[in-house]
Structure 1
Amino acid sequence: MKNKKNTLWYSLQHPEPVVYDERMEAIENRSYIWGFHIYTIIITSVSIFIMFSNSDENIKILFMFLLSVRLFIELGKTLYRCYYGILEVDNKKRSGMFHVLNGCIASGVFTMFYIVPFSNYISKLWYIVVFVVGFAVFYGLCHITYAQYLKSNEDDFNERKKEHSQTIGILCAIVLGIFLIGLGPVVNLAIDKDRIINTFTKEEADALGKIQKASDAYYNLDVYKLECFYSISKEDNKPVYSNLIPGHSYYWQGSKESFALILDDNNSNNPVFQANYLRDKESNQEWNIYHDGKWFSEMDYIQNPDIPGDVDERYAIMPVTGILDIDPKSVEDISIESNENGYRYTVTFNEKYMKVEEYLGRTDKVKSKRHAVEIYTVNDFGVMTGYELKLTTYDEDTNEPTLVRMRFNLLSVDKDKINGEIKELVSGKFDSYTKSTK
C-alpha cells in the first residue's frame, strides 16, 4: 500500500521546517531574475504592438496573454518550491500550504476570465467547471513535481533517475505554460461554437460565417473605390457633414495614395465641397486639402485665417469605410436574398446592439431603446460590395425616433484605373467624378 507520507498533501499538512540557506535563496532569486527578465521583454513587445494597433479586441487578447505570463512566473515559482521540497521555511510568514492553495485558486480564477464574454449565453455551472479544472490542474502539477523531490531522497536514487526526474519537472513547467496561455483560445472556440449552434439555425449560423468571410475579403482589398453616404433623419436638407461625417463622398484607396472627394448635394453648379489627398502612405501620413487651386497641408489649412468655413468640418477628412464585426448576442434575425449579382444579407439586431463609440469604449453604453438593421451585399466571389446601417434611437423623454443611415458601395477594384484616377484628381480635375450612382 502506498505510503501516505509520500504525498504533497501530507507534507502540506505536516510540514517539516527547514533552514532558509543560500541554496534556497539562489533558487528563488534565479526564478525571479529570469522570470522578470522575460516579463520585461514581453511588456516591451506588447507595448510596441499596442502602440501601432487600433483594435480594441487585440488589446484584450494581449492583456490576457500578459496576465497569463505573469501568472506563469508566480505559479512556476511554486512548482520550484515543490520540486526542491521547500514547502516550509523557518522565519517565513507564508507556509507551503499557502503557496500551493493560493496558486490553485489563482489558476482556477484565471481560467474563469476566459468565459466572462459569454456570460449571457452559458450556464453559471460553466464557471464552477472551469474553476475546478484550473484548480485541479495546478494541484496535480505540484503533486507531480513534489513527488520528484521525494524520489531524490530515496536510497536508490541514481544519475539516471535524476535525469528522469529533471525531465518530468521541465515537462510540468511546460504543461503549466501551455495550460495558462493555450487554454483561452480552446475554451473560447468551444463555447463560441456551442453558443452559435444553440442560438441560431444552421442557415443563420452559415450566413454569419459567410458575412464575416465577405467582410474579411473586403478588408483584404489593397486597392478600391467607394461611394459613401451618411444622413440623419432630423436634418431637413442634405448637409455636407453630419456628426463630422461627410454626407456624400467618394473615396479612392490606391496602391500608395488615398483620395477623398466630399460633395455638397445642395449645390448642383459646384458639387465639390472639399478634396483631400493623402500622399505616399509609407512616408507621409499627413492629409492635404485642396483650396483655390492649391494643396495645403492639413495643419496649414486649419491655421490659415484666410480660409473660411467651420473649423470642425475640416477634421472630417474621409468618410467611414469600416464596419464592426457582428456580435452574435445582439442578433435578433437574419434573412437572405439572392439576385443576379450575388447575395443580400439583412441582419436585424436587438437592444444589445452597440454603436461604434460604445464598442470601442469611447463612450458608455446608453440604456435606451434602439433598433438596428445592417444590410450586407456580397458578390459571387464572396467579397462584400455594399454595406448599409439603419440605426434608430429613441429619445428617453419624448420617445421620438431618430434614424441614422450610413452606407457605402464598392465601385471598383481596378488597380490601374484607380491609381490613374487619383493622379487626375490630384491635378484638380474633379468634374468627371461627381456623378452619383445612388
Structure 2
Amino acid sequence: MSMVSYASGARYLSLIGGTCLSFYDWYCDLPPASPQTWGEQTDVPESADWYNSSYIIAWGSNVPQTRTPDAHFFTEVRYKGTKTVAVTPDYAEIAKLCDLWLAPKQGTDAAMALAMGHVMLREFHLDSPSQYFTDYVRRYTDMPMLVMLEERDGYYAAGRMLRAADLVDALGQENNPEWKTVAFNTNGEMVAPNGSIGFRWGEKGKWNLEQRDGKTGEETELQLSLLGSQDEIAEVGFPYFGGDGTEHFNKVELENVLLHKLPVKRLQLADGSTALVTTVYDLTLANYGLERGLNDVNCATSYDDVKAYTPAWAEQITGVSRSQIIRIAREFADNADKTHGRSMIIVGAGLNHWYHLDMNYRGLINMLIFCGCVGQSGGGWAHYVGQEKLRPQTGWQPLAFALDWQRPARHMNSTSYFYNHSSQWRYEKW
C-alpha cells in the first residue's frame, strides 16, 4: 500500500470523527519477540544497510516480492562477495538470488535456529572463544546478570533477576535499587553495573552500557559464568516442548522437563534468607544443551547426539541435514567474528504469521546476539513486511491522521476493541 492511498482513507476517517484501529497487532506485522527481548517496538535498519553486510540469511522473507523497490540492494551486495542464503520451504523468488537454499518444513524455523545457536555457542564461545563475541555479550546483554533459582518438585528452576534491593546494603544503591540488576565482576565482587532500568530514573550519566560500577563509577569487567568460582553444582529444570508432535510436525521425544547441571553461588539476602544464583549466560549454555565438564546427561557431547538442541535433533524436526545446519551456523558466526558483526538476517511475514511466532524470532535474535551482530552496521536483524521505514514520515503523519485539524490522532488498540465488541469476552473461562 502506498503512503498516499493509506493516508487518503485514514484522513477521511479521522475528519468525520472515526477511529483508526491499530493494525500491527491483528495482521501480525510487527513481531512481539522484539518488545519481549528489548522492551521496545521493533526497529530495523533501512534497506540500504543490506549493502554493508558480508553475510545475509533471508529467512522467511521473499524480498523480490515483498520488498521489490529495495531488492536491488540484495542483488548488488553479492557483487562485493557477500554470501546470501535463503531459508524458505518453497523455491520462492528469493531462492534464485542466493548462493544456498535451505528448505525446512514450514513452521519449524525455531528448531533450526536453536540448532544453529548450539553450534555457535559450542565453537565460538566454549571451544575457541571469540574475544569479540565475549566482549559483546558481556557489555551489551544481560548474560552476566544473576538470576535467583527457585525450588520446584525436587529440582531448581530459573526465577527472577537478583536485584540490588535484595542484598543487605543494596550495594550502596539508594536510588531505585529494586530496579537494578546485579553481577559478579572478574575479581569476585558483586556490583550493580550501569545500564539497568533503575539508572533510567535517577543519577544522570549512568543510564548507559559503559562497564562501570554503578556505585563507584570505576571501570569493571563482569563475569559471564560462575564455572570455576561456584559454591556448588545444582540441577536446574528447563521445559521441553519438542515432544509434542502432530500430524504436521515430527517430534523428538525427551522428558518434558530437562534437568541440567549449573554452577551456582549461595548468597545471604537482606531478609535473612539465602538464595542460589547463577548467571543468564550459564542458564543459556545449559538450555542449549552444551556439556561443560559437569557430566550432564541431558547435554550433548557431539552434534550427532539426538538431544535438545543439537543439529541431529533439528534434522529430525526440520528435514534440513545436520551438515547444512552446522555449515551455515559456522559460516555466519565466523563472518561475524572477522567483521565485528556484519552478519545479517532479513526476516518477515513468512515467520511472523505463525502461532508461536515469538519462538521463531527469538531463536534468530539469540543467534545474532551470540555473534555480536545487533546494533552493528551491516549486521543484526532486518524485519520487513511492507512500509516499515517511511522517510517522509514526519510530514506524512499530519496528512494521514488529520493532525492539522485535531490532536491527538484518533487511534485505538484493535485487540481490545474486537475483544469487547465481538463478545469474545463471553467465551472466556475463569
TM-score by length of 2: 0.21
Of Structure 1 and Structure 2, the greater helix share is in 1
TM-score by length of 1: 0.21
Of Structure 1 and Structure 2, the greater strand share is in 1
Higher RCO (CA 8 Å, separation ≥ 6 residues): 2
Q: Highest Rg: 1 or 2? A: 1
